[in-house]
Amino acid sequence: MIKPAVAVRGLTKVFPIPFRRTRVVAVRGLNLEVAPGQVYGLLGPNGSGKSTTLKIILGLVSPSSGSTEIFGRDSREVGSREAVGFLPENPYFYKYLTGAETLRFYGKLCGLSGVRLKSRTGELLELVGLQNARDRRLGGYSKGMLQRIGLAQALIQEPKLVVLDEPTAGVDPAGSRDIRDLILDLKRRGITVLLSSHLLAQVQEICDRVGILANGVLVREGRVEDLLAIENQTELILQNATPEVLNDIAALLKKSSARLIEQRQPQTTLERLFLEATKAPAER
């Protein structure tokens, strides 16, 4: 049997609120599995327990009950994090280090050294598009740049599992596009990705599978296509359709039992518009 990349079993996390008698149940009886090579999206509104779940998987927070495993090793073992890269939400790094120094530091923590560390640092700066900022202090980085260096840091030791908490938060659409491409690239290379987000459109594009959390409970789970497909509807998008063609179609429909629900001019998305507009001057 092939071990899941991530397994969460009966996970519950209760935060006591100090000095008050109440407590917050952040995660309640969560079960999920991420197969190796998959891109898994954890969705949910603010405060639904996504970040808590990810932190427990990484051993940063201890579960109240239940357990989590990475490639079959309990999260409480330090060694389970050997082949894992993590990007926390809104990451901050040491402001006084430069981009390259930051990557070197995290590389050493993962046991890299010498030529390997050096080449890996260069590669990753290139990959996240920060080679021009490699010798600038992180104190002067923008939010999106921090997110990118965070991503590079998570990939430093070529992990088999990458955990990303809201990887595109605070990143401009072009950057967010880049990050999505990067995730797809990771997937092509067989790396498992577990990410959280509440930007559904983006998740829909890249995830194989999603789980939806609400108030710490997993309310939906499955393959993206399965969850989204509306089985008795079909969408047609026509180009250069003359009024006659449309009339013909209408006539055809009348003869069948099918019913036309909506007919409209498709619009480009704001995202696509933004991308076209901002890309043009830079590349001209």
Partner 1 sequence: MSKSGHSRFSLTRIAALTGNTFTELVRLKVFYFLLIFALLLIGSSIFMAQLSFQQEFQVLKDVSLGAMSIFTSLLAIVATAQLIPHDVEERTIYTILAKPVPRYEYLAGKLGGVLLLLALSVVAMTALFLIALFVRQEMLVGVTLRQTSGLRPEQVQEAVRTLKASAFNVNLFPGIVVIYLKAALLASLTLFVSTFATSNIFTICVMVFIYFIGHLQAMAREYWLQQNSAGWIAKTFLALVALVFPDLQLFNLVDDIVAGTAIPGPLFAQTAVLGCVYISVYFFFAWVVFHGKEL
Ligand X SMILES: Nc1ncnc2c1ncn2[C@@H]1O[C@H](COP(=O)(O)OP(=O)(O)OP(=O)(O)O)[C@@H](O)[C@H]1O
Q: Is 143 in the site for partner 1 (CB under 8 A)?
A: no
Restricted to residues 98-117, the positions that interact with partner 1 (CB under 8 A) are 105-106, 108-111, 113
24 contact choice in partner 1, Mg ion, ligand X, none (CB below 5 to 8 Å, kind-dependent): ligand X
Joined together, the tokens standing for residue 183 give 């995730």
* Identified binder of ligand X from the candidate list 11, 39, 50, 59, rule CB under 6 A: 50
Q: How far apart are CA 162 and CA 165, in angstroms?
A: 10
Least Cα distance to 145 among 165, 181, 127, 171 occurs for 171
* Identified binder of ligand X from the candidate list 22, 46, 132, 268, rule CB under 6 A: 46
Q: Is 24 in the site for ligand X (CB under 6 A)?
A: yes
6's CB contacts (< 8 A; 6+ apart) are 32, 33, 34, 40, 57, 68, 69, 70, 161, 192, 194
Least Cα distance to 216 among 60, 70, 17, 65 occurs for 65
* Identified binder of ligand X from the candidate list 7, 8, 26, 103, rule CB under 6 A: 26
Binding part of the chain for ligand X, among 46-54, 121-129, 141-149, 255-263 by CB under 6 A, reads 46-54
Q: How far apart are CA 129 and CA 177, in angstroms?
A: 13
SS3 string, 160-222, reads CEEEEECCCCCCCHHHHHHHHHHHHHHHHCCCEEEEEECCHHHHHHHCCEEEEEECCEEEEEE
Restricted to residues 149-168, the positions that interact with partner 1 (CB under 8 A) are 150, 153, 157, 163
Q: What is the pattern of x (binds partner 1, CB under 8 A) and - over residues 238-257?
A: --------------------
State the nearest-atom distance from the C-beta of 165 to Mg ion, in Å.
6
Q: Is 198 in the site for partner 1 (CB under 8 A)?
A: no
Task: Tell me which residues touch partner 1 (CB under 8 A).
Answer: 15, 55, 58-62, 71, 73, 78-79, 81-86, 88, 90-94, 96-97, 105-106, 108-111, 113, 150, 153, 157, 163
